[in-house]
Structure 1
């Protein structure tokens, strides 16, 4: 299996004034003349940490990371309750990506995203298909109302005791309605204790529903009160609006991805974002391959999912990259909450489907 690439530092970074009072942090690392690749982090609100840099061959890629509005090193910070989120939508983020591409003088780039980053990557690629060379996506989600309802209510059938605590955090009169809306209201409450309780319980539930694979460890970032508040505010803001996208639009518009090679990697144990979303997308995106990992869940916390993503970025790199032996074993991921050797499987309608497992 391919190793994570060694840690690297940016050779350039800055902030981009994207309007509406927002300054977006960006950085580039790897080879300044390499193939451009853009990272779209998850959340919304997770920020683009250094782990992402290690998914690319630094000799072959010019790796671009940025913190989406309201999080990471971008300002203003959504952890501050006075920060308005009115100008923080998927459409704003797509415009930010295009502004950053122009600022860096990039004609076309590979786009990689995980979880929420998949939703954003698909929305961007369908809006600007001529600017995307390939898509590498893992933990595929569309942030639809159906998916949001699954995570915030239906998943209570799998984790009944934890979900009861999640539900009972909101006022009793709101427990039968939209829990996302109820949490969003609590996160905007003038009482800091109400805001802090809502952020803590939201992030606790996040740790529960992504914890289905062996060896999962809780996300240490949730120990930081400001990260909790930032993350919970941004997630509920986007989820209450179904990602600011028409329901089903990413699947309906998937024909716009024609000609864009893609790899989608998804864990069969991912109950946070069940694999049916990725499978349905594979049926309507003929240039994509779907790799299903049998014993792993959400994100890049397992070896096989990480390996499949590395294999994809290695496949798409130019010939000037590093030569590596396929027998090399992966390093243990040390980045954000993110085991199995992929084997050849059957092909499905649309893109190819491969199953992996241990």
Structure 2
């Protein structure tokens, strides 16, 4: 049976509001030394328009030209950039290895990079910060650090990164999976994606499944001494990457796994995610709720898929409740009938509608 039309029905496809704009400019910006880090950036839209800083997901993802299609190219000046260690930024994990690419790679470093890129591109006033998944996390962290630079925070698929959020995604019933793979012994994304969950767990021994994230991190930290060890590390990176990539869509893509099934992307994505998750995102516990007053001072727009299994809706609900307790309703809170991916039709159209409806920035 051909289910391709069913899968395609959840994607934005040809329903984008705006066509793909051309890239106006691009380059690499040196943001650190010893080791040197250069971040790759691209610019789209109106060079004199309202600036939008686009923060991709992961951590460890990368930008693609299609990400500029959420924005009216006549109104906005859109900046896409690859965060440290990934995409076209240098060094990246795939080419230089984690020892180099993960050095000086923390949330504070990424916030600093945004400031350096902002200065390099001569953005003097406020800008819109647009981020989904990990991009929403980084956007909020940036907003807390530099609220005066933020005209708005436009967030999709809120990721707070608490222990319970990570356990839902990566631990689930893993400890008991060997004896009963279909037992719902704990909440988790595995319940809706059992085949994809199997592929993630089969990399590990039953004992290693007691702590899935720590076991994967140990594989990623290994310095391969043999071809077999290198092959094991790549297989683990692909399994990690495909798990998140496939379950990001309400209807998983079975035939075309896209970038998540590419070796170089998987090595960057998996190893950077594991690095950040093992270090509690390099943020103090309760960081966002401890600074909720600062976030409440910025217009916050939220789009979250009701069927998001990567970042369940409870994360957006917790953030919205905290904003309300701080005396500020979110400027927008849209729950779409979609999953996690920004490229699902309802998410993409809701994000574009928010950007179209933002009040114009004063010149």
Q: What TM-score do you get using the length of structure 1 for normalisation?
A: 0.83
1:217-232 matches, within 5 Å, as 219-232=257-270
CA positional deviation for 1:11: 1.7
Residue equivalent to 2:47: 32
Query: Alpha carbons of 1:116 and 1:216: their partners in 2 closer, same or farther (altered >3 Å)?
Result: farther
Q: Is the 8 A contact 1:145 1:247 kept in 2?
A: no
Q: Is the 8 A contact 2:249 2:344 kept in 1?
A: no
1:187-202 matches, within 5 Å, as 187-189=220-222, 190=224, 191-202=229-240
Unmatched 5+ residue regions in structure 1?
321-358
Residue equivalent to 1:167: 201
**2:110 is the counterpart of 1:113:** no
**2:218 is the counterpart of 1:185:** yes
Provide runs of 4+ in structure 1 moved above 4 Å. 213-218
1:206-217 matches, within 5 Å, as 206-213=244-251
Q: Tell me which of 66, 70, 92 is aligned to 2:81.
A: 66
Q: Is the 8 A contact 1:207 1:219 kept in 2?
A: yes
**2:307 is the counterpart of 1:264:** no
1:234-249 matches, within 5 Å, as 234-249=272-287
Matched residue of 1:180: which SS? Answer: helix
Q: Tell me which of 86, 102, 123 is aligned to 2:141.
A: 123
More helix by proportion, 1 or 2?
Answer: 2
Deviations 1:235-266 (A, max 9, x none): 11111222111222112212102331121000
Residue equivalent to 1:4: 17
Residue equivalent to 1:331: none
Deviations 1:39-93 (A, max 9, x none): 0001112211111111111111111111100111100011132534131111100
Q: Is the 8 A contact 1:45 1:230 kept in 2?
A: yes
CA positional deviation for 1:218: 5.1
The whole-number CA distance in structure 1 between the counterparts of 2:209 and 2:338 is 32
CA positional deviation for 1:157: 4.2
Matched residue of 1:140: which SS? Answer: coil
CA positional deviation for 1:29: 1.6
Q: What TM-score do you get using the length of structure 2 for normalisation?
A: 0.82
Residue equivalent to 1:342: none
CA RMSD of aligned residues (A): 2.2
Query: Alpha carbons of 1:135 and 1:182: their partners in 2 closer, same or farther (altered >3 Å)?
Result: same
Q: Tell me which of 84, 94, 115 is aligned to 1:98.
A: 115
Q: Tell me which of 219, 242, 246 is aligned to 1:204.
A: 242
Q: Tell me which of 164, 167, 170 is aligned to 1:146.
A: 164
Residue equivalent to 1:334: none
Count of matched residue pairs: 318
CA positional deviation for 1:214: 7.8
Unmatched 5+ residue regions in structure 2?
1-11, 173-187
Residue equivalent to 1:77: 92
**2:356 is the counterpart of 1:314:** yes
CA positional deviation for 1:109: 0.5
